[in-house]
Structure 1
């Protein structure tokens, strides 16, 4: 079942194709097809360029999940550290292990500040 792409998804696809696709050339379009790139005019989910699906789309995991999942687009949470997308897993709070580590360090720093501040007052 296909659905219409959102404006953000179309923009993300265009950005990925122009930046990372090895088959795309600004002057000629898609080099193997010798015409305009199929992915730049994409409006619906469903069939994708094989090279885009296998090589370019994995560079944006949030977009990959949104495009490859069946049904409506999943709502992503926002990472409290960097603002990036977090998959809608109930247990995952951060987008990556690096963000989780930063948040843990921040929490430990605040804890130690409170602990030192309480011992100074006594």
Structure 2
């Protein structure tokens, strides 16, 4: 397993607010998933350790999500070099360049097939 993302103080404060407001497993600071009603581990740790929080709660605040999760390697567009935030391994281009590249390839494919249809 890779390194877990860490937060700075400002991000950690915003994450605590998100947990109190949106986390379905948080009941007045205690985690319902833990048997003993222990405090939520995500509320006391600046490391993203809760899988539920990462998957369901954190994406609600896009700014914090992008800031925390961008610590992982970011792919760049092969044409313009802009960073690409994608969960897919097959993405090579940013949305604008992807459209231009698809149209270019369609044009080439159709031009190559055109002589066969002109007979």
**TM-score calculated relative to the size of structure 2:** 0.51
Q: Deviations over 1:6-45 (max 9, x none)?
A: 221011110000000000001x60001131101111224x
Partner of 1:41: 44
Partner of 2:111: none
Residues matched between the structures, number:
70
The 1:21–1:3 alpha-carbon spacing in structure 2 relative to 1, beyond 3 Å, is closer
Q: Deviations over 1:56-113 (max 9, x none)?
A: 0110011111111227xxxxxxxxxxxxxxxxx79xxxxxxxxxxxxxxxxxxxxxxx
Task: Flag as ranges the 4+ runs of structure 1 deviating above 6 A.
Answer: none
Give the distance between the partners of 2:52 and 2:23, measured in 1 at CA: 8
Q: Structure 1 unaligned runs (5+)?
A: 72-88, 91-122
Q: Structure 2 unaligned runs (5+)?
A: 73-81, 84-119
Partner of 2:31: 30
Partner of 1:83: none
**TM-score calculated relative to the size of structure 1:** 0.49
Partner of 2:19: 17
The CA RMSD over aligned residues, in Å, is 2.3
Give the distance between the partners of 1:36 and 1:15, measured in 2 at CA: 15
